Structures are given as C-alpha cells and as structure tokens.
Amino acid sequence: MNNGIPFINFGGEGSILHFAHPNAYPPAGFGQFLRPFTTTHHVTAIQHRPLWPGSQPDEMTDWLVIANDLIRFLDQQGWRQVIGVGHSLGAVATMFAAVQRPDLFSQLILIEPVFLPPTILQMVAANPEKGAFNPMVAGALKRRNHWDSREAAFSRFRRKTVFARFSDEVLWDYVNSATRETETGGFKLVFPREWEARFYTMPPQGVWDALPQLTHPTLAIRAEESDTLWPEAWQLWQEKQPNATFVKVPDCGHMLTLERPLHVAQIIQNYLKTTAAIKQT
C-alpha cells in the first residue's frame, strides 16, 4: 500500500490496544466489543489485506503474510509495546507477529485462534491440493453477494444460525461494515468471497512450533461451544504455553466477540487490570 496500511481508529487515550480481526469480518463491525476499552486505551484495528483495494487472493501463500502485514503496519505507525488483541485469523497473525517482533507487543490476548491439531495439519501439509475441497471453501464461494438494500441484508442475516446470538445492534454493525453500495445499485460484500475461501484452503502451519517461543504475558480465550479451537488443541496449547492464562467462555461459539461482546471485553479488562497491578508490585 503506497499510502500506508488502512486501519480503523476507535479512539480513546492511553496505551495502544490493537485488534486484529477474523476472516470475513471487517474490523469496523466490532464496536460493541472494542469501545469499552477506549476508556483506558487508544484502540485501533488493522484492515487485513483482503480489504485493501486491488488485493488478490493468490498473494496469500501462507498466514505469515498477514502477520508480516501487521508488523509492517505497527512499524509504519511507530507503535511499540502495544496490547495485541486478535480473534481467529487475527489471533494467529498476532501470535506470529509477536514471535518475529517481540518488541512490538507488551502482552497478547488471543481469542479463538485457528490452532488445528497437529494430525490435521500434517494431513493438510501432505495433501495441500485437498484444501480446496474443504466444505467451508464451497460455502464461502457460494455466499450471497448482493442485496437491494442493507435492510434486505439484515433481514436475511437475522434468520441465519451463525448470527442467531448477535443482538440487533451488533448485527447492524456487521451489516454496515460488511457491505458497501455499488455503482450499479444495491449492496455487496466488502470482504471478497474469494479471499475468505483462500484462508480455508490453507490452515496455518507452524503454530505449535511458534507458541513456545512467545515471551509475552498471554490471555488465551476459547468459546465453550467452539467449532474451531478443538478440545485437544486447547489442551495442547496449555502444554505449549504453560505460563499463559486460559479462560473458557460459556454460552457462545467461535464469534464470541460479537455474540457476547461486553462479557468478553470485561474478561479482558479484568485480566489487564490484574497484570497492571502485578507490574506495580
């Protein structure tokens, strides 16, 4: 990007708290989750590569590309010792970035990272061409991409199971951030379906080797009903990073930052208060 990597500035004063968003969910839609932090921090959120004008999915040869984008973004801003919060794709990118450039972060909040069990990753590595047959790839590519109005998009999303736990306010934030008006009329997705599918074809490798290299205080968060961070991966994570703090959140799934935004924000705020108090002693 010639003019710097785009990002959302949620405002606030204090140390930088940076949020790296999940696949297919633009960061502007996370206001319900992020605004509580603006009372104590300056909150920002990178827009990942799929949201850049003219970007192409074949640029993404490995999830490290997104981590390197994050490093470049923080360097462009001149920020150091930020609180790195990441969800799903964003959690993986934040973790890899912290391993490569520990100076950029003071502590990490990793929410529902895509840490697949080693056996699955080995199978994918041995048969990379089979990634295209992941059912999630087909689902992403077939996703509806045009609505006559945002009201029509909201009405359709409101009936879908994946959004069932989103409040109307959160769902409207998602609709407004995830769609844009087209020149020919109507609204389309901001996050291209082809980019969403690209991430599903190649799950992140190397996560289990990277985790023990983390030196930052870390809060690890898993949704009790997660379909992404499997119980065996959750257990392995605890073995790989025994000094981290591990929290499981009930009554929510993978999109917990939008299903229970204030509750998850409170968990993180409590953790940050605790770590701040420890530093002062």
Domain boundaries, the chain: 7-126+203-280
For the chain, the average pLDDT equals 96
Tokens encoding 166: 């989103």
Say if CB 20 and CB 86 are below 8 A apart. yes
Dihedral sign, CA of 123, 126, 128, 133?
A: negative
Q: What is the mean pLDDT of residues 158-180?
A: 98
Q: What is the mean pLDDT of residues 64-91?
A: 99
Q: What is the mean pLDDT of residues 238-263?
A: 98
The CA-based angle 276-279-280, given to 5 degrees, is: 90
| Residues 281, 276: Cα–Cα separation, whole Å | 9
Tokens encoding 162: 């994946």
Q: According to CATH, what is the number of the domain 7-126+203-280? A: 3.40.50.1820
Close Cβ partners of 157 (under 8 Å, ≥ 6 residues apart)? 163, 171, 174, 175
In the predicted model, is pLDDT for residue 278 greater than 90? Answer: no
Q: What is the mean pLDDT of residues 116-124?
A: 94
The region of weakest confidence among 12-16, 122-126, 188-192 is 122-126
User: How high is the pLDDT of residue 131?
Assistant: 72
Report pTM.
0.97
